[in-house]
Amino acid sequence: MSQNKALNVTLTIIRVFVGILFIFSGLIKANDPSGLAYKMGEFFEVWAREGYLPSLMHWLNTYAMAMSILMITFEIVAGIALIIGYRFKLFSFLILLLTIFFTFLTAYAMYSGKIKECGCFGDCIKLQANESFMKDLILLALILILVFFRKRIAEAFSPKVATSIMVATFAISLLMQWYVLKNLPVKDCLPYKIGNNILNEMTPGPNYVPEEVKTVLVYKKDGVKKEFDLTNYPWQDSTWTFDTTINTVVKKAQNEPTIKDFSVSNYNGENVTNTVLTYKGNVFLLFVKDVHTANTGNLDRLRILIQACKKANVPMLVLSSSNDIESNKFKEEHKLDIEFFTIDQTVCKTAMRANPGLMLLHNGTIQGKWSYANYPNFSTLNLDLKDNALPLFPVAAPAPVAPVDTVSTR
């Protein structure tokens, strides 16, 4: 009798622990569903490059956001189901399958070296691939115990009450994600959070040691693939065709900057990053990851803000990963009196989760971030404008014209 009681207590502890872990994992990722979608996309892109059903991987990548929302919702719902014992046989098997899948992903990331972080707890709690793998192994062992003793688990509530709890959990999970996708993450755990100075975040720490990467070039000939390094690749042999590049981290960087690739250029190729980040005053940066998918539902409010900025001499730039033709078409179509600049797409979606989204800098420090759903009213910002007397990009004075000697003739 005492053994049965001890077993039941042990199962309850394991069940509640695993359930809380799933809820915690889901809630952290629900704060930023885009982050999980981008991480899924990274896996799909790697597998496509490796030749694992590339067409399928590219297709799956187009639905990464939907899969992210569903996975996050399932984690939260399944965690609640474990705790209250709701349809335990079904959910214990589903969680077992999901954990096996997670274990495969973390093992692949750890042994391949192609993916540094698995995104198990989002960007707020970063785990390296080996840490995630060990976590999943322990979790897998606990879940196997629950599956083995699944018949001993009883529901904590009546079917009607339990079903109501599950429906409410499902709805709340979706509502949370809808809110942060429309606005911005409630907790910003990325390097571009409010209060950070971008230029400082781009500066390596003391005793900085760069990352060492081994590059392998894969070439193919007659259907056979062969790996070469940078010293012996067959660049003179036209019978070999380049296939892909594999970069493997040999030694991790130490004290590296949190922002490594923030770079802004105009469409003439002139880099203006330092000009923007060292400007003494206020600058608005409007991030547009892709003009084709940008939300245009609140552009009237944006146009009002643009005009207010012009009157107050506050520069506003659009940073987009789209090309100049696409950007100019978007600008003309939506009557935006603002200049477009180019930025890397990965940087764009890291700096701003919304598309589009607005960032306010003062002396290079991030003062505010807004999604397309809530562009600010300029008058309510109470900006200190004393440093905005000088333009961001001073217009060069025309070169003096040398006097022309006149020769009189008689």
DSSP string, 194-241: TT-BHHHHTS--TT-BPPEEEEEEEEEETTEEEEE-TTT--TT-TTSE
Mean pLDDT of the region 381-401: 72
User: What are the chain's domains?
Assistant: 2-182 (no CATH), 206-251 (no CATH), 273-389 (3.40.30.10)
Sign of the dihedral defined by the CA atoms of residues 162, 163, 168, 169, in that order:
positive
Mean pLDDT of the region 264-289: 93
Report residue 371 as tokens: 């999604």
pTM: 0.82
Which contacts of 143-151 are long-range, i.e. CB under 8 A and separated by 24 or more positions?
A: 143/18, 143/92, 143/95, 143/96, 143/99, 144/96, 145/11, 145/14, 146/11, 146/14, 146/15, 146/18, 146/82, 146/92, 147/92, 147/93, 147/96, 149/7, 149/11, 150/88, 150/89, 150/92, 151/89
Per-residue model confidence (pLDDT) at position 305: 95
Question: Per-residue confidence at 7, pLDDT binned at 50, 70, 90?
Answer: confident
Question: Residue 201, exposed/middle/buried by CB under 10 A (0-12, 13-18, 19+)?
Answer: middle
CB atoms within 10 A of CB 53: 12
Helices (H), 250-393: 273-277, 299-311, 324-333, 345-351, 378-381
Q: Tokens 């622990």 map to which residue?
A: 17
Mean pLDDT of the region 116-128: 76
Phi-psi region of 363 (alpha: psi -120 to 50; beta: other; left: phi over 0): left
57-66 pLDDT, tens digit per residue, is 889 989 999 9
Q: What is the rounded CA–CA span in Å between residue 174 and residue 182? A: 12
Mean pLDDT of the region 58-82: 94
283 has a pLDDT exceeding 90: yes
Mean pLDDT value across the chain = 87
Q: Tokens 């840490």 map to which residue?
A: 131
Q: Could you tell me if 376 and 368 are in contact, meaning their C-beta atoms sit under 8 angstroms apart? A: yes
Q: What is the rounded CA–CA span in Å between residue 172 and residue 27? A: 11
CB atoms within 10 A of CB 304: 13
185 has a pLDDT exceeding 60: yes
Mean pLDDT of the region 37-46: 87
82-109 pLDDT, tens digit per residue, is 999 999 999 999 999 999 988 988 888 8
More confident residue, 285 or 124: 285
Q: Tokens 């349809």 map to which residue?
A: 87
Sign of the dihedral defined by the CA atoms of residues 186, 192, 194, 196, in that order:
positive
Number of H helices, E strands in the chain: 13, 8
309-321 pLDDT, tens digit per residue, is 999 999 999 999 9
CA end-to-end span of the chain: 131
Per-residue model confidence (pLDDT) at position 403: 58
Q: Tokens 């990963």 map to which residue?
A: 321
